[in-house]
Amino acid sequence: MTRNEAMEILSIWVRSPSLRTHMYTVATAMEWYAKHTGQDADRWWITGLLHDMDYEKYPTVGPLGHPYQAVAFLKDKGIDDEMSDAILGHASQVPRETRMAKTLFAVDELCGFIVAVALIKPSKKLADVDVQSVTKRLKEKRFAANVSREDIYQGAEELGVPLEEHIGHVIAALQEQASAWGL
Ligand SMILES: [Fe+2]
């Protein structure tokens, strides 16, 4: 699968602008980690981009819903086991065994959280987000309450990257592409 094919799938399956932005931010963070750990940037980007492709049509998590519907569709399109297991691993009991799976889980909720922190800045820009502002907000339970802190902490731990370092990587990744999302 090419990046263009992945973007076409996204454009057909996902209408919500905020979900689309979320998927692009996760793709970007995945690409950053691929490039910095000697992995295949295209495959990691595509996996990040499509991880929530079925969420609008199948918002319920489970074998008949998210993310199994995405994986069934994508397997028909020829994605490999590493990619499909990573997508399953971010929102099911499928174990996260590969670097790709661990990274997807570690960046997913964090990308949403970093965007939420950007949106409360007067500028509403990612350029004004730093590690300190993210760690401070993580401790505020009422801020972006729908974002699981547990998943963010567990994700960094599974990845084996200290939390603040990990947050810094994801901020840096997203800032590089921020203008594409109007952030
Ligand atoms: Fe996600």
pLDDT given for residue 2 in this prediction: 97
**Bridge partners for 67 per DSSP:** 62
Among 30, 25, 18, which Cα is nearest to 174's? 25
CA–centroid distance, residue 83 to ligand 1 (Å):
15
Distances (CA, A) of 110 to 9, 22, 45: 24, 10, 16
Query: Structure pTM?
Result: 0.96
CA–centroid distance, residue 90 to ligand 1 (Å):
8
CA–centroid distance, residue 107 to ligand 1 (Å):
9
Q: Do 82 and 94 meet the contact criterion of CB atoms below 8 Å apart? A: no
Mutual orientation of helices 99-119 and 163-177 as an angle, nearest 10°?
A: 70
Helix runs in the chain, H state only: 3-13, 17-36, 41-50, 68-76, 81-89, 99-119, 131-138, 149-159, 163-177
CA–centroid distance, residue 128 to ligand 1 (Å):
23
In order along its 183 residues, the chain shows pLDDT tens digits of 999 999 999 999 999 999 999 999 999 999 999 999 999 999 999 999 999 999 999 999 999 999 999 999 999 999 999 999 999 999 989 999 999 999 999 999 999 999 999 999 999 999 999 999 999 999 999 999 999 999 999 999 999 999 999 999 999 999 999 999 999
∠ Cα 151 47 17 (to 5°): 80
CA–centroid distance, residue 51 to ligand 1 (Å):
6
pLDDT given for residue 134 in this prediction: 98
**SS3 of residue 41 by DSSP:** helix
CA–centroid distance, residue 95 to ligand 1 (Å):
17
Name all domains of the chain by residue range, CATH numbers in brackets.
Answer: 3-181 (1.10.3210)
CB atoms within 10 A of CB 107: 31
pLDDT given for residue 18 in this prediction: 94
Give 25's contacts (C-beta < 8 A, 6+ positions apart): 111, 112, 114, 115, 174, 177, 181
pLDDT given for residue 12 in this prediction: 98
pLDDT given for residue 55 in this prediction: 97
CA–centroid distance, residue 52 to ligand 1 (Å):
5
CA–centroid distance, residue 23 to ligand 1 (Å):
6
CA–centroid distance, residue 38 to ligand 1 (Å):
23
pLDDT given for residue 122 in this prediction: 97
